[in-house]
Amino acid sequence: MKFRNIQTLYQIASLIDAEFIGDADFEILGINEIHVVESGDIVFVDHPKYYDKALNSEATTILINKKVACPEGKALLISDDPFRDFNKITTHFSPFIASKVSIADTAIIGEGTIIQPNVFIGNHVTIGKNCVIHPNVAIYDHSIIGNNVTIHANTVLGADAFYYKNRPEGFDKLLSGGRVVLEDNVDLGASCTIDKGVTGDTTIGKGTKIDNQVHVGHDTVIGEKCLIASQTGIAGCVIIEDEVTIWGQVGTNSGITIGKGAVILGQTGVTKSVAGGKSYFGTPIAESREKLKEMAEIKRFLKDQKKNS
């Protein structure tokens, strides 16, 4: 998430009441999670296991819960609770603004687009030309929809990321300041849920078609011309490359990549990254030919055991 105006290290430190290490005028352009940070961004880290990764990332300001040596060309914000203070920054620069109408005055809707009854369109949403948005669709703030997109009834774009920190008093939510982006010629079936990014975008690429009752987690990027069948659950921070086919009731782990042209057969659990151009099946996932051969061998073995008993 980029700030509308450049901030200084001193300004951000004052906002969250944190000590800082570095030039008070050091420029900060936005905040992001570790997997999408760029130069100018703040990233937060609150566990020693990830200190080195954060300090050596592209982020130029690190919000951290320990005084450490500051890498050259970077700045530190020292906080007793980086998770809490990351939320403070998100709330300040991307506050929740309650809507008073079904279609916000700030929404931009392209020529030829049809909006059916009972659709909610939030603040600063952009919808392209010749789209069809069916009844009871909810499109949360800042979502971006391209041209020739169809969204069927009861689908929700832009719900918060499922991202919590376990504290003694209960689960603490990491606030979401990102967006959902649908590119041109995307179709979404009925009752799909597409969560927005925590600080970046959840993106569905050009020409991808998604069936009913599919969930897409925060910050996931789905490529172009993919087919995703009903009741698939895609976790957060997944990369699905172009022309992937995913059949029904597939589930994925977070942070994995599915390579270009892969086919994931129904009810598979995608427990790890897989290469493109192959067919996969089962839990744990394996190439479908190998998995089916393995299942046949087990069946044969059990049959022999029964015969010999």
DSSP lists the bridge partners of residue 21 as 76
First to last CA, the chain: 65
CB 66 within 8 A of CB 52: no
Would you please indicate which residues are annotated as catalytic (active-site) residues?
A: 218
What's 34's DSSP letter? G
Tokens at 30, concatenated: 């936005």
Is the backbone peptide bond immediately before 95 cis, with ω within 30 degrees of 0?
no
Calpha distance 124→133 (Å, rounded): 17
Q: Which residue has the tokens 């391209």?
A: 146
CB 137 within 8 A of CB 153: yes
Tokens at 304, concatenated: 């022999």
Residue 146 makes CB contacts below 8 A (sequence gap 6+) with 128, 182, 183, 184, 185, 186, 206
How many residues in the chain? Answer: 309
Identity of the amino acid at 44: F
Tokens at 267, concatenated: 């009810």
